[in-house]
């Protein structure tokens, strides 16, 4: 997967940096409510630029992240070193389709629809099996993703554009879903990034496709279940419970799925 977005870690980090303290509090509450023990050791598949690893390590967790992009791994390793967190935070190269860890983790987190980069059922199933292998029985896997809209005609989602600025660098990012292939269960996204970096006197932009899984709730339950997990709860972006028996669809936005290895 050669995505410029993930091979320019410094720019990714700035573009996707926002306050995640509310999310961290939410995860901590989920750990207390749903795990069978005190959560101390956390695994983050596809950890990117360490957006989550660093604050989790600062909260006292032992965290290990992995990512398929060598650039992301090198950048995150450097960030961990600079923050003086290296004994309690680590990052390695790994692929969600097969990365598994002998060390048994208490919980794992996979945010921002990242699991959607796995498109084929086999890859998704292998990922869940690898995650079940890497977690203790009674441990949690929290996955954030959005499902397909219930009605095809309202799959038209508006572009999401935002600007991030820091120390002479300005980045405008646009994330747009171009089309949905419901039968093939694919979502075709386009990411556009315009970068102006005064420090290096560079100004450039790129536009690239990101093809992702179009999730249907039934598929998520079936594949996570076959991989060794039970779905315990779903929360929305306001951290409110969504009843498991209600229609779980794209109209609800990004959702947190609380999976438990039983
Ligand atoms: C949207 S970013 C999310 C990063 C991080 N989880 C976060 O919340 O900021 C997606 C990340 O997934 C990584 N990625 C994509 N496919 C992967 C795979 N098969 N295995 C491991 N990492 C992958 C990319 O390199 C990128 O760093």
pLDDT per residue as tens, the chain (262 positions):
567 888 999 999 999 988 999 999 999 999 999 999 999 999 999 999 999 999 999 999 999 999 999 999 999 999 999 999 998 999 999 999 999 998 799 999 999 999 999 999 999 999 999 999 999 999 999 999 999 998 765 556 667 899 999 999 999 999 999 999 999 999 999 999 999 999 889 999 999 999 999 999 999 999 999 999 999 999 999 999 999 999 999 999 999 999 999 9
Tell which atom from ligand 1 comes closest to the C-alpha of 118: 19
From the CA of 228, how far away is ligand 1's center (Å)? 22
| Closest to 54 in 3D by CA, of 44, 67, 39 | 44
Neighbours of 74 (CB within 10 A): 13
Kindly list the structural domains of the chain, giving each domain's residue range(s) and its CATH number in brackets, ordered by start.
Answer: 4-148+214-261 (3.40.50.150), 152-212 (2.20.130)
Question: C-alpha 141: how far from its chain's center?
Answer: 12
Distances (CA, A) of 171 to 4, 198, 247, 261: 14, 11, 37, 40
| Closest to 226 in 3D by CA, of 107, 132, 104, 120 | 132
| Closest to 145 in 3D by CA, of 94, 73, 93, 221 | 221
Return the best residue to mutate from 5, 24, 44, 68 for the ligand 1 pocket (most ligand atoms within 8 A of CB): 68
Name, in order, each residue with C-beta under 8 angstroms of 179's C-beta and a sequence gap of 6 or more. 188
């Amino acid at each position: 997967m050669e995505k410029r977005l993930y091979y320019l870690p410094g720019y990714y980090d700035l573009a996707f940096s926002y306050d995640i303290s509310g999310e961290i509090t939410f995860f901590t509450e989920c750990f207390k409510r749903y795990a069978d023990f005190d959560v101390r050791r956390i695994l983050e598949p596809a950890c990117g630029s360490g957006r989550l690893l660093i604050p989790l390590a600062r909260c006292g967790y032992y965290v290990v992240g992995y990512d398929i992009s060598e650039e992301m791994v090198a950048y995150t390793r450097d960030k961990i070193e600079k923050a003086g967190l290296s004994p309690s935070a680590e990052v390695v190269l790994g692929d969600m389709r097969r990365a598994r860890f002998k060390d048994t983790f208490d919980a794992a987190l996979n945010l921002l629809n990242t699991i959607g980069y796995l498109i084929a059922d086999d890859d998704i199933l292998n990922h869940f099996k690898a995650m079940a292998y890497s977690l203790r029985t009674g441990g949690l896997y929290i996955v954030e993703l959005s499902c397909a809209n219930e009605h095809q005609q309202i799959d038209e989602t508006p572009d999401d554009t935002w600007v991030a600025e820091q120390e002479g660098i300005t980045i405008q990012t646009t994330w747009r879903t171009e089309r949905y292939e419901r039968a093939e269960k694919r979502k075709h996204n386009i990411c556009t990034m315009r970068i102006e970096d005064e420090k290096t006197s560079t100004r450039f932009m790129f536009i690239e496709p990101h093809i992702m899984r179009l999730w249907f709730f039934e598929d998520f339950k079936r594949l996570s279940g076959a991989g060794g997990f039970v779905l315990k709860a779903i929360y929305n972006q306001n951290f409110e419970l969504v009843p498991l028996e209600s229609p779980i669809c794209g109209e609800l936005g990004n959702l947190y799925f609380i999976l438990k290895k039983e």
